[in-house]
Amino acid sequence: FGRLRSGLAKSASQLTGNISALFTKRKLDDEALEDLEDVLIRADLGVQAAGRITREIARTRYDKDVDEGEIREALATEVAKTLEPVARPLEIDPAAKPHVVLVVGVNGTGKTTTIGKIAHHERGNGRKVVLCAGDTFRAAAIEQLKIWGERTGAEVIARDQGADAAGLAFDALKTAREQAADLLLIDTAGRLQNKANLMAELEKIVRVLKKQDETAPHSVLLVLDATTGQNAVNQVEVFQQVCNVTGLVMTKLDGTARGGVLVAVAEKFGLPVHYIGVGEQAEDLKPFDARDFARALCG
C-alpha cells in the first residue's frame, strides 16, 4: 500500500490540493458542488463519474456545512464504490493448459513490461509460463521480452523482426501445449495508425489460436497508460471495436497526476481491472484493489 500511496501522490495532490482550496469550511450549496465537480473532472475522473459522484456526495449533505476532511472521506467512499465492481483478479483456468492471454494496447503503454511482470508474478505462484514475442514490428520489443524470459525463467518463443505474428502465435501455443504450460502470454504490436490492419492482425492471431484450442484466447488484456489521461478512455473504445477485450491493466500510475482516469474508465466501461503498474520493476505490478486505490487517490 505504501508503494501505491507514494505512486499516486501526484494524482492525490491534484485532487485533494484543489479540494483543500475549496473546502476549508463551507456550505455545500450549488456553487460548491459545481466547484467540486470541476475538481473531479480536472483530476481526470471523467464527466460522467464526476457528475454522479458529486450528486451522491450532495445527497445527504446538501446545504450543510462541510469541511475538507469530510469531503475527502466521502469522495474516497464513492470512488471505492465505483471501483469495487471492476476490481477482479486475472483468473487463470487451470484446466486450459495453457490459459492463453493475448495482450493488446497502443505502442508504449507498457505491454511488454506488463507481460514480464505477470510472468514474474505467476512464476512466483509456481506456474509454468511461456511468452510469445508477438510484437514482431519492433526489434526492441523482441529483445526486451527475451530479457524478461531470462529474468523470470519463462521460455520465450520469438522470431526475427518482421515475421508473421499469427504464425508465431501458432507456434507458441503449440510449444506451450506440448510442455503443458499453465500460461501463455502473447505480446502484440499496437499500431493504431491503421485500425483496419490492427484488426486484421488481431483477428488472424485469434483464428490461428482457435485452430488448436477453440476456447483460446481465454483472456484479452488491454494495457492502458495512465499518463495519457482521457486518451486511455478513447483507447478502450477503439480496442473494443477491434477485439474482444476481457480485462484491463493500467500502467504508469507512479508519478502521474492523471491516475483518476482509472475511475473514468471503470465508470464508462465496467471492464474488469486486474492489475495496476506502479513502476518499471518486476514487483511493480499490483493486483488492483479498489479501496486501497481510492484511499491513495483521495489522500
167 is an interface residue for ligand GDP by CB under 6 A:
no
- Nearest distance in Å: CB 126, ligand GDP: 25
The annotation status of 65 as a binding-site residue, yes or no, is no
Site string for ligand GDP, 82-121 (x = CB under 6 A): -----------------------x-xxxxxxx--------
279 is an interface residue for ligand GDP by CB under 6 A:
yes
The annotation status of 188 as a binding-site residue, yes or no, is yes
User: For ligand GDP, which is the closer residue by CB, 10 or 88?
Assistant: 10
Grid coordinates given for 187: 505480446
CB neighbours of residue 160 within 10 Å: 8
161 is an interface residue for ligand GDP by CB under 6 A:
no
Number of residues that bind ligand GDP (CB under 6 A): 19
Q: Are 14 and 229 in contact (CB under 8 A)?
A: no
The annotation status of 103 as a binding-site residue, yes or no, is no
188: CB partners within 8 A, 6+ apart: 102, 103, 104, 111, 134, 135, 165, 201, 202, 205
Q: Nearest 5°: CA angle at 273, between 269 and 278? A: 125
User: For ligand GDP, which is the closer residue by CB, 105 or 247?
Assistant: 105
Choose the binding region for ligand GDP from 49-57, 94-102, 122-130, 277-285 (rule: CB under 6 A): 277-285
Q: Which of residues 235-254 bind ligand GDP (CB under 6 A)?
A: 251-252, 254
Q: Which residue number places its CB atom closest to ligand GDP?
A: 277
Site string for ligand GDP, 12-41 (x = CB under 6 A): ------------------------------
The residue whose grid cell reads 518463443 is 157
Distances (CA, A) of 285 to 8, 159, 280, 289: 14, 27, 9, 12
4: CB partners within 8 A, 6+ apart: 253, 276, 278, 286, 292, 293, 296
Before 98, cis peptide (omega within 30)?
A: yes
The annotation status of 124 as a binding-site residue, yes or no, is no
Q: Which positions make up the binding site for GTP?
A: 105-112, 187-191, 251-254
Q: Name the residues that contact ligand GDP, by CB under 6 A.
A: 105, 107-113, 141, 144, 190, 251-252, 254, 277-280, 284
